[in-house]
Amino acid sequence: MNPVNYLYLAALLFTIGAAGVLIRRNAIVVFMCIELMLNACNLTFVAFSRMHGNLDGQIIAFFTMVVAAAEVVVGLAIIVLLFRSRHSASVDDASLMKL
Amino acid sequence: MSATAVHSLWTTAAEPIDKIPAPTVEYAQLAPALIVVGAAIVGVLVEAFVPRKVRYHVQVFLTVVALVAAFAAVVALAAGGYGTTKARIAAMGAIAVDGPALFLQGTILLASLVAVFTFAERRLDPEAHGNRVDSFAAQTASVPGSDSEKAAVKAGFTTTEVFPLVLFAITGMLVFPAANDLLTLFIALEVFSLPLYLLCAVARRKRLMSQEAAVKYFLLGAFSSAILLFGIAMLYGYAGSVSYAKIADVVDGSVRTIDPALADTMGNDALLLIGGAMILVGLLFKVGAVPFHMWTPDVYQGAPTPVTGFMAAATKVAAFGALLRLLYVVLPGMSWDWRPVLWAIAIITMLGGAIVAITQTDIKRLLAYSSIAHAGFILAGVIATTPDGISSVMFYLAAYSFVTIGAFAVVTLVRDAGGEATHLSKWAGLGRRSPLVAAVFAVFLLAFAGIPLTSGFTGKFAVFKAAAEGGAGALVVVGVISSAIAAFFYIRVIVLMFFSEPKAEGPTVAVPSPLTMTTIAVGVAVTLVLGVVPQYFLDLASQAGVFVR
């Protein structure tokens, strides 16, 4: 199968993730959409790696996974903190600092 | 897809393991970042094993020693000629050790050192149950206003984890402007961003606002770094490598031998343009340029003020360093494409920051919009694409970071019953009640406004001169106009402090410990020295203003 198709799939997944970040209102769902974007990046790296015939892209994919895991640790901690104080994880409710 | 390319992967993997060459890492040249990350790891162990009573003192000592040692390492490298004649690329092409990297690392370390003093300040709030308290929550995990929070305050807990966190953030910031491939760039970005997200959430007062700031910063920051990562993927597809030098070669067109099987990707300009744009978005988010600035006011307002000062100064230095290296080393071959875009961004950043700042009523938000306007001024120097552009931007960053940390340190002093009195109306008549504090803050505001004899003037002059000589005269005109607009609201705060009647139940000015006094004194000293006798430092910046490739 032509590896370019994987690039199209990755771009589609990235777009779905980005649209989700902008549209969804629950902080957890927004965060999941960001993770989807990171995974779309991984797919792109691996597809390009195969097309170029070098291993850089596959190695970067591992780094991305580690970063995504670290981001989950920090992100969930912050979102759970917000939820415990407000009993809501909606990003619209958090509006103490509007101009 | 050619079968040979895939086959070569398999044969590489099947080679005997002893034929993989071990990477050579020049540890001595990476010493600044290694010292700081080592101290951060020791700090985590201190949290785990040292008794609670002495933890604060151990952490402060460790942090200060690490930052001083790292700065000494930077000076030693610079004195050894690594900034000029011996500039090189270390760690298998991952890190550049050159003039701009060392200059910005030195700036970040010094600015972080004075910022850490404000982290360690424990005399501003009244003692709680006989324990001195700092700006950070007794126990971040406890729900605001709950019994567990009261119990934590009564037990005298403190969040000493901020010191290792800030050291991790500084590590990322040291690597960020020195990163010489896109993977290192991304990892460094995450290493300094993740601790900053957490630091935003740990304020002692106004905890709901602090948590809200952290959530906003985290979600938007993670979004922007995902965009940056996709840009990196595009450039990898374009050039077949993430190394700056190799990408630059493909951008220049000096690589002529493109595998016909890769004609769709390698050297495909669509990938280059989309990828370059997405990486720029990620970096411009970090510097807070319009239209990627929406997080700045909320995060600056909600975060604990010492963290805000640190973040405003050090993040900007690191992110502009990375932006300069990307534009001057990787993408000079396509400057015709990115210059118009950055022109537009610089103009709306300068004007937008200055105009919106006029309507602000909170001092921290006002300083946030002012930092957006300053990002625009610095971008004008970035656009110059001349050696003067690099050195003027570096000088501006050094001058700006000390003014910012000093100004936020003053903000921590003006307090009422609810903590810091950040509403501007409460600052009325401060000059009558505490002339010294108001005068110091006025010096910082005049430096922000760019009045002569302050570092702000020298920095702005250098940046605008470089921009004009680099063919961006129109930008300079816009820059001067928005400086005039910005001067209006800085002067307005000065007028408010000195020429209006103090209110009866106004805020009090806390008497700080020598720690915050040092921060403010260093801020004032640097502001005046860089304003009155800037020549030595301008020369230093211009000597350091050459990127290695």
pLDDT, tens only, B185-223:
999 999 999 999 999 999 999 999 999 999 999 999 999
Assess whether pLDDT exceeds 90 at residue B4. Answer: no
Assess whether pLDDT exceeds 70 at residue B172. Answer: yes
Residue of chain A whose Cα is closest to the Cα of B208 = A85
For residues A11 and A39, give the distance between their C-alpha atoms in angstroms, rounded to a whole number.
11
Residue of chain B whose Cα is closest to the Cα of A78 = B215
- The DSSP letter of residue B131 is B
Chain length of chain B: 549
Count other Cβ atoms within 10 Å, centred on residue A24.
16
Lowest mean pLDDT among A44-58, B72-86, B263-277, B515-529: B263-277
For residues A90 and A82, give the distance between their C-alpha atoms in angstroms, rounded to a whole number.
9
Q: What are phi and psi of B15, to 5 degrees?
A: -60, 145
What is the reported pLDDT for B7?
47
Q: Mean pLDDT score of chain A, rounded to an integer? A: 93
Q: First vs last Cα of chain A: how many Å apart? A: 53
Taking CB atoms within 8 Å and a gap of at least 24, the contacts of B478-482 are B478/B346, B478/B347, B478/B350, B478/B351, B479/B350, B479/B376, B479/B377, B479/B380, B481/B351, B482/B350, B482/B351, B482/B353, B482/B354, B482/B355, B482/B373, B482/B376
B245 contacts chain A (CB < 8 A): no
Assess whether pLDDT exceeds 80 at residue B142. Answer: yes
CA dihedral (B194, B196, B201, B204) in degrees, to 10, reads 150
Assess whether pLDDT exceeds 70 at residue B114. Answer: yes
Q: Which of A49, A62, A71 to mutate to test the interface with B (most CBs of B within 10 A)?
A: A71
Contact A37 B223 (CB under 8 A): yes
Would you place residue B15 in the very low, low, confident or very high pLDDT band (cuts 50, 70, 90)? low
Contact B219 A27 (CB under 8 A): yes
- Tell me the shortest Cα–Cα distance from A6 to chain B, in angstroms: 13
- Report yes or no: B280 and B382 within 8 Å, Cβ to Cβ: no
For residues B515 and B525, give the distance between their C-alpha atoms in angstroms, rounded to a whole number.
15
Assess whether pLDDT exceeds 90 at residue B504. Answer: no
Higher pLDDT residue, B258 or B489?
B489
Contact A81 B209 (CB under 8 A): no
Count other Cβ atoms within 10 Å, centred on residue A99.
10
Would you place residue B262 in the very low, low, confident or very high pLDDT band (cuts 50, 70, 90)? low
Contact B237 A7 (CB under 8 A): yes
Of A4, A96, A28, the C-alpha closest to B265 is A4
What is the reported pLDDT for B128?
84
CA dihedral (B280, B482, B539, B77) in degrees, to 10, reads -40
What is the reported pLDDT for B322?
97
- Report yes or no: B114 and B522 within 8 Å, Cβ to Cβ: yes
- Tell me the shortest Cα–Cα distance from B240 to chain A, in angstroms: 6
B369 contacts chain A (CB < 8 A): no
Assess whether pLDDT exceeds 90 at residue B269. Answer: no
Would you place residue B106 in the very low, low, confident or very high pLDDT band (cuts 50, 70, 90)? very high
Assess whether pLDDT exceeds 70 at residue B257. Answer: no
Among A45, A86, A97, select the one facing B236 at the smallest CB separation.
A45
B432-447 pLDDT, tens digit each? 989 999 999 999 999 9
Q: Which residues contact B112 (CB under 8 A, 6 or more apart)?
A: B67, B166, B170, B173, B310, B314
A48 contacts chain B (CB < 8 A): yes
DSSP assignment of A43-94 equals HHHHHHHHHHT-SHHHHHHHHHHHHHHHHHHHHHHHHHHHHHHHS--BTTT-
Q: State the average pLDDT over residues B127-147.
A: 90
- Tell me the shortest Cα–Cα distance from A88 to chain B, in angstroms: 12
Among B144, B215, B227, select the one facing A79 at the smallest CB separation.
B215
For residues B45 and B537, give the distance between their C-alpha atoms in angstroms, rounded to a whole number.
39
Count other Cβ atoms within 10 Å, centred on residue B257.
5
CA dihedral (B162, A64, B212, B145) in degrees, to 10, reads -50
What is the reported pLDDT for B1?
42
B209 contacts chain A (CB < 8 A): yes
For residue B269, give the H/E element and its range: helix B269-287
- The DSSP letter of residue B17 is G
- Report yes or no: A49 and A19 within 8 Å, Cβ to Cβ: no
What is the reported pLDDT for B23?
84
A66-96 pLDDT, tens digit each? 999 999 999 999 999 999 999 988 888 888 8
Assess whether pLDDT exceeds 60 at residue B377. Answer: yes
For residues B86 and B3, give the distance between their C-alpha atoms in angstroms, rounded to a whole number.
43
Higher pLDDT residue, A93 or B312?
B312
What is the reported pLDDT for A98?
66
A12 contacts chain B (CB < 8 A): no
Can you read off the two tokens belonging to residue A14? 């990235």
Can you read off the two tokens belonging to residue B538? 């301008």
- Report yes or no: B406 and B313 within 8 Å, Cβ to Cβ: no
Chain length of chain A: 99
What is the reported pLDDT for B116?
97
Assess whether pLDDT exceeds 90 at residue B385. Answer: no
Query: Structure pTM?
Result: 0.94
Assess whether pLDDT exceeds 50 at residue B357. Answer: yes
For residues B433 and B498, give the distance between their C-alpha atoms in angstroms, rounded to a whole number.
9
Among B197, B209, B359, select the one facing A96 at the smallest CB separation.
B209
Would you place residue B13 in the very low, low, confident or very high pLDDT band (cuts 50, 70, 90)? low
Assess whether pLDDT exceeds 50 at residue B465. Answer: yes
Find where tokens 């290296």 sit. Answer: B325
Q: Which residues contact B428 (CB under 8 A, 6 or more apart)?
A: B496, B497, B500, B501, B502, B503, B506
Per CB-CB distance under 8 Å, the chain A contacts of B203 are: none
Residue window 11-50, chain B: list those with CB within 8 Å of chain A: 12
Per CB-CB distance under 8 Å, the chain A contacts of B141 are: 81
What is the reported pLDDT for B259?
62
Assess whether pLDDT exceeds 80 at residue B497. Answer: yes
Q: Mean pLDDT score of chain B, rounded to an integer? A: 92
Per CB-CB distance under 8 Å, the chain B contacts of A37 are: 223, 226-227, 229-230
For residues B139 and B133, give the distance between their C-alpha atoms in angstroms, rounded to a whole number.
12
What is the reported pLDDT for B263?
59
What is the reported pLDDT for B254?
74
- Report yes or no: B134 and B90 within 8 Å, Cβ to Cβ: no
How big is the A-B interface in CB pairs under 8 Å? 150
Contact B262 A52 (CB under 8 A): yes
Assess whether pLDDT exceeds 50 at residue B3. Answer: no
For residue B415, give the H/E element and its range: strand B414-416
Lowest mean pLDDT among A52-66, B50-64, B247-261: B247-261
